[in-house]
Amino acid sequence: MITLKSPREINAMEKAGAALAGMHIGIRQFIRPGISSWEIEKFAREYFKKIGAKAEQIGFEGYKYATCVSVNDEICHGFPRRKLMLKDGDLVKVDTVLSIDGFFADSCWSYGVGEVKPEIQKLMDVTKKSLFMGIDQCIPGNRIGDIGAVIQHYTEDENGYGDVREFVGHGIQPTMHEDPMVPHYGEHGQGLRLKNGMTITVEPMINTGTWKADTSDPSGWLAKTADGGWSCQYEHTLVVTDKGPKILTSQDPEADADYMYDDDYVKYFDHYSKIAKEVAQSYK
């Protein structure tokens, strides 16, 4: 069932979204060559505890961690690992879901470790741009297919990348995964019509090679590219409104000013970013 959120609910999701964005701000302070991906998990857990947030991924269908940390050819759902040491030039995707007072936020961000190769930087730039192109389609009256169509055309037709099909965006609130499913491929004018008050995620996963995923990992979670190409992902939680799409997990409210739901987000974001940076000090 798809629920349309009230202003009160959206404001509560803003708070959760700002808290999640704060986590990503903290990660930026210490991610570097030589640390293990487990350090990211440790930081997230400590930060969530400090702000009173619940790590919603822990226990979800048996998953044991607060974060997914996927590196290079890993598309998504990589476990944070003590023995996986990050190297100069790696491409790391950190995805998590948290809740505060029962209100959810979901966001993934990609990080280049040290100095990445120009072709990887291009992959990151194209993927991030495709995220915002998809978000711009999230207006009342448009359809789900409009989101995927612009992302697929830009990433595959214009840039020659692979647009992952096996994993998609989704509705969010009152649980982590709600209807509707939000593919990042598709056709204009097809699919469910978007309405004011819908809260969804847009989260393109874009590969340097084929769009196909290898999901044969024994863990039952980790997905890699089928051809060994590298993969990038960016994800925001947003709300569809009559004034356009409003991002609830922005890491840069100034740059995303046109996407802000109201002035409360900046207040929340400044508060949580400060805490995240304080927690990150011990991980530098």
> Is the CB of residue 5 less than 8 Å from the CB of residue 261?
no
**Binding site annotation covers 166?**
no
**Binding site annotation covers 278?**
no
Cα→Cα distances 276→12, 23, 26, 34, 214, Å: 19, 6, 5, 21, 34
Q: pLDDT of 127-144, one tens digit each? A: 999 999 999 999 999 999
> Is the CB of residue 115 less than 8 Å from the CB of residue 88?
yes
Domain positions in the chain:
7-283
**What pTM was estimated for this model as a whole?**
0.98
| CA 66 to mean position of chain CA atoms | 14
Name the β-bridge partners of 182.
169
> Is the CB of residue 253 less than 8 Å from the CB of residue 265?
yes
**Binding site annotation covers 188?**
no
1: pLDDT strictly greater than 90: no
What is the rounded CA–CA span in Å between residue 166 and residue 33? 30
Q: pLDDT of 237-271, one tens digit each? A: 999 999 999 999 999 999 999 999 999 999 999 99
**Binding site annotation covers 61?**
no
**Binding site annotation covers 203?**
yes
**Binding site annotation covers 106?**
yes
What is the rounded CA–CA span in Å between residue 273 and residue 275? 5
> Is the CB of residue 144 less than 8 Å from the CB of residue 127?
no
**Binding site annotation covers 271?**
no
Fold observed for domain 7-283? Creatine Amidinohydrolase (3.90.230)
